[in-house]
Structure 1
Amino acid sequence: MQLCDLDELLRESDFISLHLPGSPGTAQLINAAAIARMKPGVRLINTARAALIDEPALAAALRDGNVAGLACDVFSEEPVPASNLLLQCPNVIATPHLASASRESLERLGDMAAAAVIAVLSGREPPSRLA
């Protein structure tokens, strides 16, 4: 594995797994133009944010085979309607936004919330303050 820019990653990767926050800079990162630069037969994984993907463009690429498969845990509309374009593709594995549903994850979330409350009540900044 080596560090590379986005164009090289799209052009050379057999698998692309998205691990990015949703932000104006990452919105629609995987759009028709990005898909056109991808290696034919690429497989895509998105457990990050639905806003990273242009769903209609990706559905078209899944149907025509340019993208061989998608594993996805996040969708533009949740709960996901049966009419979602990605769900119509047989080469999609979809899960209902379960990435953070493990016992360990929920325990850590509770610990983080408690630490934030204690910090604020003690007059300190919370450890994970969002701007």
Structure 2
Amino acid sequence: MKVTFFELGSIKDDSFNYVYIFTTFNNKWVFVREKGKDTWEMPVGHKEKFETIDEAAKRELFEETGAIDYNIEPICDYSVTSNKKTTYSRLFYAEIKKIGSLPESEIEEVGFFIKTPDNLTYPEVHKILYKKVMEYLSKKARNI
């Protein structure tokens, strides 16, 4: 598996496959668990044909967490190549201010963690993207 990072806007909107949203609420990381699974992941989802990648991120954040008031920021674009297949995604950071009811979806549970849980759905990708998000947040904190 190979992850390659790109500047925001380097990938055409119709080329994106997914959004991956590192999310916090009350200073805890937000992870979600799909029905029938025992692993956790950050809110992640497919981009629909009719929407922009930024619209997809907002939709997925609501569908997977119930977030109704939040700040969401794009960090970078990236690709993942595995088994000779490449997918394109945009990495986001979201800070949820208010959560409503979880809509009917594939998500069974929303969890709040001080640190990353051990049983992740995508541990390799998560580790690489986590490092990128922490670099982004550190740089952002220095610029305040």
TM-score by length of 2: 0.26
Q: Determine which structure has the larger helix proportion and give its number.
A: 1
Structure whose CA Rg is larger: 1
Q: 1 or 2 for the larger relative contact order (CA 8 Å, sep ≥6)? A: 2
TM-score by length of 1: 0.28
